């Protein structure tokens, strides 16, 4: 579904955002993208959306090299990628239903389709009763549900979420995660950049860690940080975390290679 092949990106002024990233995300996976601020998570998502072009390497989305896409095809790529952000990005002068419908209107879907899809997706996110409220009448969690509904209403192949729980309290975040999990179970690939240790640790999904633009960990059923080795091993995953507490970069890279090799064997 998504493949990065030795992708590098640096911005003007010599800031290196990503260096030599290679990875593959298959259809239906749920992937956490973790790393401290400035580690390149947002650049990763921007490259996927083709808001930025890589300086080197190639990126495939749904079998297409998106670097090869002509300018006018980019919108069609984005129709396959739903997006959710920390700050929701809802339109304040539209109701919940209108916000969701807007995503379909502007890609020219017929009205009858829009009506049924919007109703359906609002039921899915649990906002069927609040379809005529405006965003400022909703709680943060509800607003994020609207954003998820908008991202998902067109049934994208991939849902990208950039710190979707960053503005929410833990229990509300749990609700959003349940929703994303539900969406993932419909077969939608979910890539979520996050800082939320609790969420990553409790979900036990694949974790990709970036550090200053380098891929330092790619782990099945991973956790956010290092150290909680016992819980990792109980899940039957080799004790990756213990060794990673060590800051030696060469050893880290070795671990990544090991993990990748293991993924390849399956």
- Site for another protein, rule CB under 8 A: 49, 71-72, 75-80, 83, 89, 91-92, 102-103, 105-110, 150-151, 154
Which residue, 56 or 75, has its beta carbon nearer to another protein?
75
Which residue, 47 or 151, has its beta carbon nearer to another protein?
151
Token pair 């401290």: residue: 36
Nearest to 184 by CA among 28, 26, 27: 28
Considering the complex, what minimum distance in angstroms separates the CB of residue 53 from another protein? 14
Considering the complex, what minimum distance in angstroms separates the CB of residue 98 from another protein? 11
Considering the complex, what minimum distance in angstroms separates the CB of residue 215 from another protein? 26
Which residue, 69 or 258, has its beta carbon nearer to another protein?
69
Taking CA atoms, 151 is separated from 27, 141, 142, 145, 233, in Å, by 18, 15, 14, 10, 35
Taking CA atoms, 150 is separated from 42, 125, 264, in Å, by 20, 10, 35
Considering the complex, what minimum distance in angstroms separates the CB of residue 244 from another protein? 35
Which residue, 106 or 261, has its beta carbon nearer to another protein?
106
Measured CA to CA, the distance from residue 196 to residue 168 in angstroms comes to 10
Considering the complex, what minimum distance in angstroms separates the CB of residue 162 from another protein? 11
Looking at the chain, list the stretches that DSSP marks H as alpha helix, in order from N- to C-terminal side. Answer: 41-49, 74-78, 96-105, 111-125, 140-152, 170-185, 197-203, 229-234, 240-244, 249-265
Which residue, 75 or 249, has its beta carbon nearer to another protein?
75
Q: Supply φ then ψ for residue 87, to 5 degrees.
A: -95, 20
């Amino acid at each position: 579904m998504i493949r990065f092949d030795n992708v590098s990106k640096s911005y003007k002024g010599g800031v290196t955002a990503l260096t030599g990233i290679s990875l593959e995300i298959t259809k239906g996976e749920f992937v956490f993208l973790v790393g401290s601020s400035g580690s390149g998570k947002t650049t990763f998502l921007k490259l996927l959306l083709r808001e930025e072009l890589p300086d080197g390497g190639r990126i495939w989305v749904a079998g297409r090299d998106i670097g090869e896409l002509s300018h006018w095809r980019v919108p069609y790529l984005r129709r396959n990628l739903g997006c959710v952000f920390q700050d929701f990005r809802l339109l304040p002068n539209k109701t919940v239903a209108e916000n969701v419908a807007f995503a379909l209107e502007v890609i020219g879907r017929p009205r009858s389709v829009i009506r049924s899809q919007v109703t359906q997706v609002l039921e899915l996110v649990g906002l069927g009763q609040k379809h005529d409220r405006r965003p400022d009448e909703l709680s943060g969690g509800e607003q994020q549900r609207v954003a998820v509904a908008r991202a998902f209403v067109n049934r994208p192949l991939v849902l990208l979420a950039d710190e979707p729980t960053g503005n929410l309290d833990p229990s509300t975040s749990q609700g959003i995660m349940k929703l994303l999990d539900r969406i993932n179970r419909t077969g939608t690939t979910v890539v979520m950049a996050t800082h939320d240790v609790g969420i990553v640790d409790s979900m036990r999904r694949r974790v990709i860690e970036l550090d200053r633009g380098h891929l330092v960990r790619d782990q099945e059923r991973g956790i956010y940080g290092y150290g909680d080795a016992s819980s990792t091993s109980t899940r039957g995953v080799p004790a990756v975390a213990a060794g990673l507490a060590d800051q030696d970069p060469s050893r880290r890279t070795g671990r990544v290679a090991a993990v990748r090799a293991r993924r390849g064997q399956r």
